[in-house]
Amino acid sequence: MKSEEELRGQMETIKKGGAEKYHIKAKERGKLFVRGRLKLLLDDESFAEDGMFANVLDGKLPADGVVCGVGKVHGRSVAIMANDSTIKAGSWGWRTVEKIVRIQETAVKLKVPLIYLVDSAGARITDQVEMFPGRRGAGRIFYNEANISGVIPQICGLFGPSAAGGAYIPAFCDVTYMVDGNASMYLGSPRMAEMVIGEKVTLEEMGGAKMHCTTSGSGDMLCKTEEEVIDAIKKHLTYFPQNCDEKPKDIEPKEPEFSCDDLENIIPKNENVPFDMYDLIKRIVDRDSFLEIKKIYAPEIIVGFSRIGGKSIGVIANQPKAKGGVLFVESAYKAGKFIQLCDAFNIPLLYLADVPGFMIGTAVEKQGIIRAGARMIFSVSQATVPKVSIIVRKAYGAGLYAMAGPGYEPDCCLALPTAMIAVMGPEAAVNAVFFNKIMELPEEERPAYINKLREDYRKDVDIYKLGAELVTDGMVAPSELRNEIINRFKKYESKDYHLPKRRHGVIP
């Protein structure tokens, strides 16, 4: 028989985690203790913990290295899995895995978001038979992640390593917010890479947060501190409902810092000249509401959660300032996943198009640009949430399709006066169609002829003509852009549109 006093003492011991030296080491690296992270994330006294006594008889593995339970963030229930890196580097035994699997089951039963605070060296190889291959082994974690994806939001904060199999936890999440310098993801450590394939690299090069946020696309935000990661998770949650059956809640709208009055002067008339799309975004969305993800990965497309007139929306915008706003394999993947994420949780989509098209050339063909583009357009096609497509400037070729042009069932496709919709731009088109004719002329007559052809081409795709032919649903004055978008999303609130019934599509 145990006394209450003894029980309390035991619980206090468990809550202290691993040995003092590991706490000191973590602190030196700027890392908080797992329960410190939970304190920052959760409302006071809101946490109900499960499996605290896991492996308690061992004495050295309190809670078996992972803290699981249900708490509240700004009054909303969330389920939590949080590794304790002071206990055997946060590694997984069978009880660790069982606790993670159970909290996934709990989260989906309660239909609440699941937040993974990851800081783990991976499997305990010594326990592999018990924790790796079986029906409720580690594989079950990723099976669950895949199958609850889109049912409840799954968010990852990465504070330390996520090694080998463990690296799939962030990879299956909706988003992963990472701490620069401490977070890492890799299948094989640098030591293993040197032994198995002979490559000599640092941990940072192999799988550091910066690499993942700029190059691999596995990271969604490069944060300086753990506090920044936790703030990002809290802000992220505000745009989302609890689960796929609910809609995000509206909040009080905030006027942007800059008005749309000078928008006309910001967008260059010459479609070849770049401009900064952020200047447009900050004039139309509510003040301080833009939570951009994958900002430093494939910057030629901008994606982020935002509010417009108090309503939660997802923004997908071409960025002419980066790589001319051309779509690449990486940008197509980035936008496609974002669109799927918003659509899964009833977040309406705003497309801001200024796109010369998908990149051409041997380099991108070898990377599968067609397949990548098809994948993005697949996501655009599948999204049934309210969709507003604004043609800011050019929308050429499949770029028009990728930005939810008229064929992609937007609730409206509106053109600014600077808009130009065509298979390709005038220069490329004239060259493609009239090349032989141009070459037949004496050289001195060519420039005038080319100019005339380009003018004719422009007239043929004039934006009024496209309105007249009902290609677009209307036009909008730049100074009215914010008001128009707010009004449109209000009108589309009642949208209830479903795709034909099937088992599922086959993603390209």
Contact residues toward another protein (CB under 8 A) are 272-274, 320, 323-326, 328, 356-357, 359-361, 363-364, 425, 427-428
> Least distance from C-beta 193 to another protein, angstroms?
23
Nearer to another protein, 90 or 357 (CB): 357
Of the pair 161, 356, the CB lying nearest another protein is at 356
Q: Measuring CA to CA, which residue among 244, 245, 257 is closest to residue 286?
A: 257
Give residue for tokens 């949208």: 495
Give phi and psi for 390, each to the nearest 5. -110, 120
Tally of CA atoms within 13 A in the half-sphere of 299 that contains its CB: 13
Smallest distance from another protein to CB 429, Å: 10
Chain Cα centroid distance, residue 96: 28
Which of 114, 421 has the CB closer to another protein?
A: 421
Please state, as a whole number, how many other Cβ atoms lie within 10 Å of the Cβ of residue 302: 27
Cβ proximity to another protein, 116 vs 396, nearer residue: 396
Residue count of the chain: 508
158 DSSP β-pair partners: 118, 178
The phi, psi pair for 49, rounded to 5°, reads -95, 140
Q: Which is nearer to another protein, 149 or 214 (CB)?
A: 214
How many CA within 13 A on the CB side of residue 40? 19
Residue 181 Cβ, how far from another protein at the closest point, in Å?
20
Closest CB 300 distance from another protein, rounded Å? 9
**Of 122 and 320, which CB lies nearer to another protein in the complex structure?**
320
CB 376 within 8 A of CB 329: no
CB of 376 to another protein, least distance (A): 17
Residue 466 and residue 406 in contact, taking contact as beta carbons nearer than 8 Å? no
Q: Taking the complex as a whole, how short is the minimal distance between the CB of residue 427 and another protein, in angstroms?
A: 5
* Nearer of residues 326 and 403 to another protein, judged by Cβ: 326
Smallest distance, another protein to C-beta of residue 321, A:
8
How far is Cα 420 from Cα 417, in angstroms, rounded to an integer? 9
DSSP SS3 for 156: strand
Q: Is 119 helix (H, G, I), strand (E, B) or coil?
A: strand
Select 99 or 323, whichever has its Cβ closest to another protein.
323
Contact between residue 157 and residue 233 where contact means Cβ atoms under 8 Å apart: yes
- For tokens 């909008």, name the residue: 476
Written in H, E and C, the secondary structure of 168-187 is HHHHHCCEEEEECCCCEEEC
d(CA 52, CA 271): 61
CA distances for 200 relative to 184, 188, 196, 208, angstroms:
17, 12, 11, 15
Q: Are 471 and 421 in contact (CB under 8 A)?
A: yes
Q: How far is the CB of 361 from another protein (least distance, A)?
A: 5
Residue placing its CB nearer to another protein in the complex, 244 or 428? 428
Q: How far is the CB of 399 from another protein (least distance, A)?
A: 10
Q: How far is the CB of 369 from another protein (least distance, A)?
A: 12
Nearer to another protein, 325 or 478 (CB): 325
Rounded to an integer, what distance in angstroms lies between the CA atom of residue 93 and that of residue 128? 8
